[in-house]
């Protein structure tokens, strides 16, 4: 059982927007602005697409955006494209008091482009 809760699946048609949620606690998501999101295509390594809640690494399209409210972070994919079909994982810093929660991941959301 993952520390952060994500919906197992999400879907949308090309051109639409989809939002994926990531719910934690005040000890992780709600306590720090260190939420990151990763995109993983089949048989590939995860790829960083959002860091520090709402920052995009160089080369990541601005169709990907992140936000946070309280203990829930969100990833929005706008203008869906076929290549956006992938698994998406959130991750949060959980503090150093309990090393088991140094970094906590969500269980992943499979995004299907209809």
Partner 1 sequence: QVQLVESGGGVVQPGRSLRLSCAASGFSFSTYGMYWVRQTPGKGLEWVAVIWYDGSNDNYPDSVKGRFTISRDNSKSMLYLQMNSLRAEDTAVYYCVRDKDVSFDYWGQGTHVTVSS
**String of DSSP letters for 4-45:** BB--SEEEE-TT--EEEEEE--TTTTTT-S-EEEEEE-TTS-
Distance of closest approach, residue 79 Cβ to partner 1, in angstroms: 24
**Sheet strand arrangement including 64-69:** 18-23, 72-77, 64-69
Nearer Cβ to partner 1 (13/100): 100
- Tell me the C-alpha to C-alpha distance, in Å, between residue 59 and each of 30, 89, 98: 28, 19, 34
Nearer Cβ to partner 1 (16/48): 48
Nearer Cβ to partner 1 (12/106): 106
Binding region for partner 1 (CB under 8 A):
2, 32, 34, 36, 38, 45-48, 51-52, 55, 57, 89, 91, 93, 99-100, 102-103, 105-108
Distance of closest approach, residue 12 Cβ to partner 1, in angstroms: 23
Nearer Cβ to partner 1 (46/80): 46
């Amino acid at each position: 059982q993952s520390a952060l809760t994500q919906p197992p699946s999400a879907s949308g048609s090309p051109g639409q927007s989809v939002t994926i949620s990531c719910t934690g606690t005040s000890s992780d998501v709600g306590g720090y602005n260190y939420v990151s999101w990763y995109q993983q295509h089949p048989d590939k390594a995860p790829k960083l697409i959002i860091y520090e809640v709402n920052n995009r690494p160089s080369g990541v399209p601005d169709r990907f955006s992140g936000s946070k409210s309280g203990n829930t972070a969100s990833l929005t994919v706008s203008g869906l494209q076929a290549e956006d079909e992938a698994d998406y994982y959130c991750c949060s810093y959980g503090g150093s008091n309990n090393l088991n929660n140094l970094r906590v991941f969500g269980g992943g959301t499979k995004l299907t482009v209809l």
